[in-house]
Amino acid sequence: MHKWIHKHRSPACFVPVQLSEWESITLQNYEGEASPYYRIVVVVSGRGILQGEEKEHLISRRDMVRCPPGQRLSIVGSTRAPLHVIQLEYHALGEQNKLPQAVREQAWITPCSIETMRVVLELRQAWLHPRAGEPYRIQQLFTELLIAVEKERAMDEQNALPWLEDALAFMEAHYHQEVTREQLASRANVSPEHFSRMFRKHTGRTYTAHLTLLRVRHAQRRLLTQSMDLHALAQEVGYKESTYLSRKFKELVKLSPTRYQHKPKRIAALNVNHTASLLALGVVPELGVYTTWLREQLSGSCHAGRRLEDSLAQSEAYYRSIAAAEPDVIIHYEAAEGNRQLLPVAPVLEIPVVTMGWREQFEYLGAIVNRLERARHWLEQFTHQVEACNQQLDHRLGCRGTAMVWEICDHAAYGIGSCYGRGAQILYEELGFHVPQKAMEQSMLTEGYMEVPIEQITDYSADYLFVTSLPTEREALRRVEQLFLSEQWQSMEAVRQDHVYILDHGELFYGYDPLSSAAQLKRFMEVLCPNHNII
């Protein structure tokens, strides 16, 4: 005797229920009933108006509408071009979240291809005139229709991405001007109705709601960094009156602009550098990114806030974690992937990566959290430490010479410039070392770093070499060992002078912030002046 061990339900099953057809719909209304089934409505010929969700849409030949159960449709035809419409109702069995998008999503006025129209007409013919010996013909054609609709939906979505990205970028650059939906639709060469549908599908907001969001978020960012007259701020973001800005601001933020400006801010810092900068100011972000090294520095001083797993970046869990923190402001690097998606959560303060040094970033954050004087005092103390270190280096080394900072990873080696941390900002900006000429001719000045195969490290000779981290994979470690044994390595100036320092502390040297910079300074002095009490 056999027993069933597992039973698996089909994720979705679709059953055609009824086909309806209306011809010669003219000026009189066709008031459709609210159907309990899913529906596909196709315009075979003619022109008219389709009304649903309290909106009117022009329809014409080869237009298609997909409707969920319970949706009422009203159609008004034209006397010059009477409408001929086919409606197919079907039942969808299965869990709602497992149904295909073409079934779940309501779509107003999407054009269907000639091939899809052919399937619709063949299905109509099979329904009205069944063939003997072909009992599954209707089901076969119905399945073909659903497949065609799903393909067209996916293609429509794919084709929309370029012009949608252009529209979003245009809005971000011109939100303070009078930019209408019709203007952007014309720019994208699509109808205003299609523009609205695709815009809402991809952003989750209407065009007007997104424009309001952009304007209010800009107002929030301005209030975070400086005091402004509300009337001037309203005009800056595209509103004529301060009262209108205040109303929209309060609708979105749930606070007036004045109260928002003065309240203590819940901050989400989306990278370890800004998390550490806030901690150096005595501010614990509501949500932050913490390395093991950074958490170790907090023992006895202050507690860590909620930890954001940056390994999950751009995932649904990542965005849910940020939204759950309910931040008043989000801090991240400029042009970081995902910043636009965070717009509905809170304003994103985007800090430049290359053009703003860690000291400037620290003061900028200090101003935002009303601790600018504390930031300046910290930097003043750090400058005194640097001066003391330079006096010791002058005595021990004299002229500094050139130095290269290498981060050796599993697949490549990275030469680091002063704007990308890894201690390079300490060596080049604080302790007087110089970048070798050949490295300067590469991308270190423009990009902030350069990437080379591990074996090509020897192409960049310097008086001092600092390796801040080593790879973890066995094959990469083997390549590093072979490099260290090679004749090219042995002939390098830094190797011959015993000026190679394998520091191998990736987390400590990763940081580009006050806490990391202070620790990196101390570590450099430990290897450059081992017999001196540095800090």
Q: What is the pLDDT of residues 164-183, one digit of tens each?
A: 888 999 999 999 999 899 99
User: Is residue 17 in a domain?
Assistant: yes
User: Is residue 365 in a domain?
Assistant: no
Domain total of the chain? 4
Percentage of the chain lying above the pLDDT 90 cut: 58
User: Is residue 178 in a domain?
Assistant: no
User: Is residue 368 in a domain?
Assistant: no
Q: What is the mean pLDDT of the chain?
A: 87
CA distances (Å), 522 to each of 30, 423, 427, in order? 81, 11, 12
Question: 532 CB contacts (<8 Å, ≥6 apart)?
Answer: 392, 396, 525
Nearest-angstrom CA–CA distance, 192 and 180 = 10
- Examine the domain organization and report whether 301 and 344 are in the same domain: yes
The closest alpha carbon to 220, from 127, 321, 336, 347, belongs to 347
User: Is residue 370 in a domain?
Assistant: no
Q: What is the pLDDT of residues 187-235, one digit of tens each?
A: 888 888 888 888 888 888 999 999 999 999 999 999 998 878 899 999 9
- Examine the domain organization and report whether 230 and 148 are in the same domain: no
Q: Where a domain ends, among 262, 277, 305?
A: 262
- Examine the domain organization and report whether 254 and 392 are in the same domain: no
- Examine the domain organization and report whether 405 and 468 are in the same domain: yes
Q: Is the pLDDT of residue 377 over 60?
A: yes
User: Is residue 58 in a domain?
Assistant: yes
Nearest-angstrom CA–CA distance, 504 and 524 = 12
- Examine the domain organization and report whether 225 and 153 are in the same domain: no
Which 3 state secondary structure label does DSSP give 64? strand
- Strand ranges in 248-289 using DSSP code E only, listed in sequence order: 267-269, 287-288
Reported confidence tier of residue 350, pLDDT bands at 50, 70, 90: very high
- Examine the domain organization and report whether 521 and 384 are in the same domain: yes
Q: What is the pLDDT of residues 84-95, one digit of tens each?
A: 999 999 998 876
Residue 77 or 522, more confident: 522
Domain with 36 in it: 13-157
Nearest-angstrom CA–CA distance, 239 and 235 = 5
Average pLDDT of the residues in 471-495:
95
DSSP secondary structure, 229-265, as one string: -HHHHHHHHT-S-HHHHHHHHHHHHSS-HHHHHHSPP
Tokens of 104: 């779940």
User: Is residue 335 in a domain?
Assistant: yes
Q: Is the pLDDT of residue 534 over 60?
A: no
pLDDT of residue 332: 93
- Examine the domain organization and report whether 398 and 457 are in the same domain: yes
- Examine the domain organization and report whether 475 and 491 are in the same domain: yes
The answer to whether 199 and 193 have CB atoms below 8 angstroms apart is no
Q: What is the pLDDT of residues 487-513, one digit of tens each?
A: 999 999 999 999 999 999 999 999 999
- Examine the domain organization and report whether 524 and 432 are in the same domain: yes
Reported confidence tier of residue 113, pLDDT bands at 50, 70, 90: confident
Residue 339 or 216, more confident: 216
Q: Name the amino acid, one letter, at 79.
A: T
Q: Where a domain ends, among 157, 172, 199?
A: 157
Residue 432 or 93, more confident: 432
pLDDT of residue 353: 78
The answer to whether 526 and 492 have CB atoms below 8 angstroms apart is no
Question: 533 CB contacts (<8 Å, ≥6 apart)?
Answer: none
> Which CATH number characterizes residue 327's domain?
3.40.50.1980
Average pLDDT of the residues in 337-360:
89
Give residue for tokens 């930031």.
Answer: 375
Question: SS in 3 state form for 406-423?
Answer: EEECCCCEEEECHHHCCC
How many CB atoms within 10 Å of residue 391?
10
- Examine the domain organization and report whether 470 and 346 are in the same domain: no
- Examine the domain organization and report whether 219 and 273 are in the same domain: no
Q: Where a domain ends, among 335, 351, 367?
A: 351
- Examine the domain organization and report whether 326 and 443 are in the same domain: no
Reported confidence tier of residue 5, pLDDT bands at 50, 70, 90: low
The closest alpha carbon to 514, from 404, 416, 426, belongs to 426
pLDDT of residue 175: 92
Q: What is the pLDDT of residues 19-30, one digit of tens each?
A: 998 876 654 555
> Which CATH number characterizes residue 219's domain?
1.10.10.60
User: Is residue 533 in a domain?
Assistant: no
